[in-house]
């Protein structure tokens, strides 16, 4: 079934949800690794402009009071922030909580502390199945071993744990090994994410990017081990989270989705209530599902609506454009070629007061 079009203005600003149920909090910009592909362009130095402890605690109270049911913490590296456990403990018994981590700061003691606090799930990044591959990406020798140890410690502590990787040219030949490693480590799920043209990945695009045909060939060649669920972020598996996505960056900016961080700013939670930013005109537009072209193989009720808006905007420069990571909607876009405008620094499309 064909999705909504730009001509259907009567539906164009009707959000899928009146308010979100889940939110991603990029709790810090700091990190103890130097990943070459980092979409947040994180670094070890402290960012003084980040949201303060008491502000995060107050915001979590706000989320609970407004019926949010889950929060996903990412960074940077959340555990690199000294007050993270305090922040986590403030909400872990009141909402479902998930943590994405590089694993290097999770030893047996930390795993048990996370369990005691009540963390719901932890996702550990593994950029390959071999130490030389993973450590190449992170820029830190020994980080692969620590990540694998973190997975074991978390599972030992009884914490639901997954692993994640980002498919790219340098690890494409060990994706099957990655799945086998995940099975060996004992996790029930292994995620394979697409590479986004954000942060430091842009400066490494020629080295890391793959054509869509290459990506599909790798994904279709995989044979998951028994009992391992493989999660993939390509359309339609993404279910277009823009329908209901909510995210806040380390500096308090409401950005809708972590992958939109370079493109939008709907307002700062330190200045306005989050649900006021939810009504920003562009935010509403992206949630409406209004697209130029929707996947004809997908039922609109499945929640696909043209795929990822970040990828669509990155490669087409239009919010309503189709997701070029979808084989049906790619329209000849070469994902190995980065649009030159992405390398220039300019005003974010949502910076103007569109209300």
Mean pLDDT of 202-221: 96
The per-residue pLDDT of the chain, averaged, comes to 88
Strand arrangement of the beta sheet that strand 96-101 belongs to: 229-232, 189-193, 160-166, 121-125, 96-101, 70-74, 22-26, 247-248
Give residue-wise pLDDT tens across range 260-277: 999 999 999 999 999 999
Nearest to 336 by CA among 197, 128, 175, 192: 197
Give residue-wise pLDDT tens across range 277-310: 999 999 998 888 788 877 666 554 455 567 889 9
| Predicted pLDDT of residue 331 | 84
> Residue 327: phi, psi to the nearest 5?
-60, -35
User: DSSP character for 28?
Assistant: -
Residue 217 has pLDDT above 60, yes or no: yes
R_g of the chain, CA atoms, integer Å = 20
Ranges of beta strands (E only) in the chain are 22-26, 70-74, 96-101, 121-125, 160-166, 189-193, 229-232, 247-248
CATH of domain 1-355: 3.20.20.70
Residues 201 and 172 sit within 8 Å (Cβ to Cβ): no
Residue 5 has pLDDT above 60, yes or no: no
Give residue-wise pLDDT tens across range 102-156: 999 999 999 999 999 999 999 999 999 999 999 999 999 999 999 999 999 999 9
Residue 189 has pLDDT above 60, yes or no: yes
| Predicted pLDDT of residue 292 | 83
| Predicted pLDDT of residue 4 | 34
Q: Is this structure's pTM higher than 0.75? A: yes
Residue 17 has pLDDT above 50, yes or no: yes
- Tell me if residue 25 falls in helix, strand or coil: strand
């Amino acid at each position: 079934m064909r999705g909504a079009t730009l001509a259907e203005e009567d539906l164009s600003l009707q959000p899928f949800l009146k308010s979100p149920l889940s939110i991603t909090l990029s709790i810090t910009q700091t990190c103890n690794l130097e990943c070459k592909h980092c979409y947040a362009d994180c670094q070890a130095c402290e960012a003084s402009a980040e949201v303060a402890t008491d502000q995060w605690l107050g915001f979590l109270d706000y989320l609970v009071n407004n019926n949010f049911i889950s929060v996903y913490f990412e960074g940077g590296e959340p555990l690199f922030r000294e007050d993270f456990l305090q922040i986590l403990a403030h909400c872990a018994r009141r909402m479902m909580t998930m943590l994405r981590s590089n694993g290097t700061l999770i030893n047996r003691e930390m795993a048990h502390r996370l369990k005691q606090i009540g963390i719901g799930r932890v996702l550990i990044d593994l950029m390959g199945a071999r130490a030389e591959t993973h450590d190449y990406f992170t820029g830190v020798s020994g980080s692969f071993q620590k990540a694998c140890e973190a997975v074991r410690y978390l599972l030992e502590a009884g914490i639901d744990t997954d692993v994640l990787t980002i498919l790219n040219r340098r690890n494409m030949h060990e994706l099957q090994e990655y799945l086998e490693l995940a099975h060996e480590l004992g996790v029930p799920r292994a995620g394979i994410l697409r590479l986004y043209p954000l942060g430091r990945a842009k400066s490494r695009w020629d080295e890391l990017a793959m054509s869509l045909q290459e990506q599909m060939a790798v994904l279709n060649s995989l044979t998951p081990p028994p009992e391992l669920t493989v999660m993939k972020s390509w359309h339609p598996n993404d279910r277009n989270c823009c329908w209901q996505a909510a995210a806040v960056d380390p500096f308090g900016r409401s950005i809708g989705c972590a992958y939109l961080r370079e493109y939008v700013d709907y307002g700062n939670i330190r200045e306005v209530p989050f649900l006021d930013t939810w009504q920003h005109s562009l935010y509403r537009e992206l949630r409406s599902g209004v697209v130029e072209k929707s996947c004809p193989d997908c039922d609109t009720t499945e929640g696909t609506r043209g795929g990822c808006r970040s990828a669509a905007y990155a490669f087409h420069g239009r919010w309503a454009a189709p997701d070029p990571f979808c084989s049906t909607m790619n329209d000849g876009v070469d994902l190995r070629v980065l649009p030159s405008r992405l390398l220039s620094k300019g005003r974010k499309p949502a910076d103007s007061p569109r209300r």
